[in-house]
Structure 1
Amino acid sequence: MRSYAKISAVAVAAALSLTTLTACGSDSGGDGKDGKVKIMVGGLDKVIYLPAMLTQQLGYFKDEGLDVQLLSEPAGVQAETSLVAGEVQGAVGFYDHTLDLQVKGKQVESVVQFSHAPGEVEIVSNKAAGEITSPKDFKGKKLGVTGLGSSTDFLTKYLAVNSGVKTSEFTPVAVGAGQTFIAALKQGAIQGGMTTDPTVAQVLDQKLGKILIDMRTPEGSKAALGGPYPSSSLYMNTSWVNSHKDTVQKLANAFVKTLKWMSTHTPEEIAAKMPADYAQGGKELYAQAIKSTLPMFTKDGVMPADGPATVERVLKSFNPNLKNATVDLNKTYTTEFVKKAG
């Protein structure tokens, strides 16, 4: 029962933070004109979204004359909700949300593409390792995702459908990440699930499970999904981007500078710049988590050429909203700002 208590506590905290945001969504802190920008991140302490906090820690936002407030939600789908509601000006989450939103009539675009692989790992608990040896075995199982409608949910569904398992034949369970994911795995509330570092490193360190599918590298992404899968990104409402080009350029400058910095520094050096409480499993384990995930990141923030088409194909395989819809991929991202970044 303790795992559910922890999960519900996180859910309550998320709801409270969203309520707080709604209350202050229309205040003066965030129209971008004065350099104040609010960005919601789908889990600030996740390594896949590391560039957000690292940019803050390196002082690159400040160098550009920006006052950026980073906020956190446990799942990317909640970051998307905050952006669409106008409570924040940007979201750091998976690029796939831009396609999903377009068919729902919302025009959102990736402005800086942090990655060309998902950075996600399908973990199987040691107890279930004998019966789950591939996605074909998802049938009848309870599988953890960060949130329903999140990118972990999307990717789990794709892996199932691609292996002949219908989305109705397994149960996705929203367990967040970090300690709530680990608790659900320990208690047997899930037999496996999709998560990222540092959760992956902690699960392996505690010998609670093993890796079934590793999508932290471009090679792993190609093997599981058939091509590059651009995931973590800064995405924003297109109308806001078009009316705040100076501010967006400054954001792109800061993030591209960070991505370049990451490509020339060791995992240990990167870990040392991050807030101490991000290393919940200890400094060495946190540095290892960063090392495992580093291959997913781009060095220049530019969308990989074949990436959008891979994402569209993956989403259309299981998402009824997208299946027969026409998606204008050119409107789901822009390279205008990253190409100008120094």
Structure 2
Amino acid sequence: MQDGLDFANASGPLGPAPLSHRHLSEIAWPGFAALLVAIAVLGCSKASSAPLGGGDAEGYEKLELRYEGGTGVSFPELAEDLGFLAPLRLNFVGSSISGPHNIQSVVTGDTDFGGAFNGAVIKLFAARAPIKAVIGYYGVDKETWSGFYVLDGSPIKSPRDLIGKKISVNTLGAHSEFILKEYLLRNGLSRDEVNQVTLVVIPPINGELALRQKQVDVATLGGILRDKAMERGGIHPLFTDHDLFGAFTAGSYVLTKEFIRENPRTARKFVEAVAKAIDWAQTTPRAEVIARFEKIVAGRGRNEEASALKYWRSTGVAGKGGLIAESEFQVWIDWLVRDGELKQGQVQLSELYTNEFNPFWKGGP
């Protein structure tokens, strides 16, 4: 899952946008940051003044954690089913449309935790949102990856062929945009040439159809959507995120700093439980993991399509139990500095993320 979700229920398409998205970095983010900072005070106060589920069970400050979910089974949901989260419990409040939206909901106090691509976490943090990444939850490895697909026979053969073309992505300012832009810059395109590549926001479930109908020239596909598209044939990858970076954890769950300060035992318990669930999925045979996912989906009554679960391949998480490596944030900080969206030294890693709640940190269990 990229940015935490497959966004099958997201609305779109929202129309084309230039890859540079100067309107996002220069207008939307600073303006939205001010709004978030203002709302965060009210939102977090609202959440902390009347914590759902009360507290006190074994000394935990907050027993019920609100979150936005998506298709498939997330690691917090797996942790709850495996019994690692008890006595805490999850409260599903709805589906999210993207990773950036998911973590913005945490800042506004609508949810207690959320996850997104690390580049999006950095941008929200740099916009003065009071968040901290606490555990990695999705990534890329030889089994789990996303590709940028073209039709067989397409004239697009190289990075330069993408100039003037349209590429579908699930959301702006997240995993797919960063990977694509890195691919173009790494292969010698100038900033002006990169700006001539157009991103079109399309729900991933519609990406293959948009490609086959030639509404876009390239479609971003991963997971079950990629595998089913490949089964139907007629497409092939131009490049993949694994081609560029190898195995790496790509996204993290975040909590607000106020949540951590006011609910330290709950925060630690949440991260410990998710870490144990990730480790369980990393070390358990694939068939057993899929069977557990199927059990969870069958029992929660959300009218989901369980057949997609058989396409699950791996966690994609590089660190044991979701441990965050410094390089998994530093690479994107450096990228944003080079791109002019951050100033050197603007983001301090010690304030951005922590492994202190993860039981596998410093050689834990």
Short-chain TM bin: 0.7 to 0.9
Aligned to 2:149: 124
Structure 2: gaps (5+ residues)? 1-6, 13-42, 56-60
Aligned to 2:330: 309
> 5 Å matches for 1:52-91?
52-61=76-85, 64-70=86-92, 71-91=94-114
Amino acid at match of 1:112: I
1:160 and 2:184 aligned? yes
1:175 and 2:202 aligned? yes
Amino acid at match of 2:341: N
User: Quick one: which of 333, 336, 341 aligns to 2:356?
Assistant: 336
Corresponding pairs, count: 305
Retained in 2: the 8 A contact 1:185–1:208? no
CA distance in 2, matches of 1:256, 1:316: 31
Retained in 2: the 8 A contact 1:228–1:307? no
Secondary structure (helix, strand or coil) at the match of 2:91 reads: strand
Aligned to 1:251: 270
Q: 1:57 to 1:204 in 2, by over 3 A?
A: farther
Retained in 2: the 8 A contact 1:94–1:151? yes
Amino acid at match of 2:165: K
CA distance in 1, matches of 2:343, 2:146: 25
CA distance in 2, matches of 1:96, 1:88: 21
Q: 1:230 to 1:9 in 2, by over 3 A?
A: closer
Shift of 1:243: 1.9
Secondary structure (helix, strand or coil) at the match of 2:341 reads: helix
Retained in 2: the 8 A contact 1:99–1:332? yes
1:38 and 2:59 aligned? no
Retained in 2: the 8 A contact 1:73–1:79? yes
Shift of 1:305: 4.1
Q: Which has the larger radius of gyration?
A: 2
CA distance in 1, matches of 2:276, 2:317: 17
Q: 1:302 to 1:149 in 2, by over 3 A?
A: same
State the Cα deviation string for residues 41-68 of structure 1 (Å, max 9, x = none): 4x443xxx7424322443432xx21121
Aligned to 2:75: 51
Q: 1:67 to 1:95 in 2, by over 3 A?
A: same
Aligned to 2:163: 139
Retained in 2: the 8 A contact 1:112–1:302? yes
CA distance in 2, matches of 1:240, 1:141: 44
Retained in 1: the 8 A contact 2:139–2:317? yes
Secondary structure (helix, strand or coil) at the match of 1:230 reads: strand
> 5 Å matches for 1:243-322?
243-274=262-293, 275=297, 282=307, 286-287=309-310, 289-291=311-313, 293-318=314-339, 320-322=340-342
CA distance in 1, matches of 2:278, 2:62: 25
1:150 and 2:174 aligned? yes
TM-score (norm 2): 0.72
Q: 1:8 to 1:248 in 2, by over 3 A?
A: closer
Aligned to 1:21: none
State the Cα deviation string for residues 55-101 of structure 1 (Å, max 9, x = none): 2443432xx21121244213112112212222111102222222112
Q: 1:137 to 1:108 in 2, by over 3 A?
A: farther
Shift of 1:278: 6.0
Shift of 1:327: 1.6
CA distance in 1, matches of 2:267, 2:350: 18
Structure 1: gaps (5+ residues)? 1-6, 13-23
Shift of 1:208: 4.8
Secondary structure (helix, strand or coil) at the match of 1:149 reads: coil
Amino acid at match of 2:352: T
Secondary structure (helix, strand or coil) at the match of 2:223 reads: coil
TM-score (norm 1): 0.77
Retained in 2: the 8 A contact 1:91–1:235? yes
CA distance in 1, matches of 2:333, 2:62: 36
Retained in 2: the 8 A contact 1:125–1:191? yes
Q: 1:324 to 1:195 in 2, by over 3 A?
A: farther
Q: 1:9 to 1:139 in 2, by over 3 A?
A: same
Secondary structure (helix, strand or coil) at the match of 1:304 reads: coil
Retained in 1: the 8 A contact 2:167–2:199? yes
Secondary structure (helix, strand or coil) at the match of 1:300 reads: helix
Amino acid at match of 1:185: L
RMSD over equivalenced CA pairs, Å: 3.2
Amino acid at match of 1:98: V
CA distance in 2, matches of 1:8, 1:252: 27
Aligned to 2:25: none
CA distance in 2, matches of 1:104, 1:279: 37
Identity %: 18
Shift of 1:323: 5.3
Deviates more, 1:307-316 or 1:114-123: 114-123
State the Cα deviation string for residues 228-257 of structure 1 (Å, max 9, x = none): 643222111122222211111111121111
Shift of 1:314: 3.0
CA distance in 2, matches of 1:174, 1:196: 15
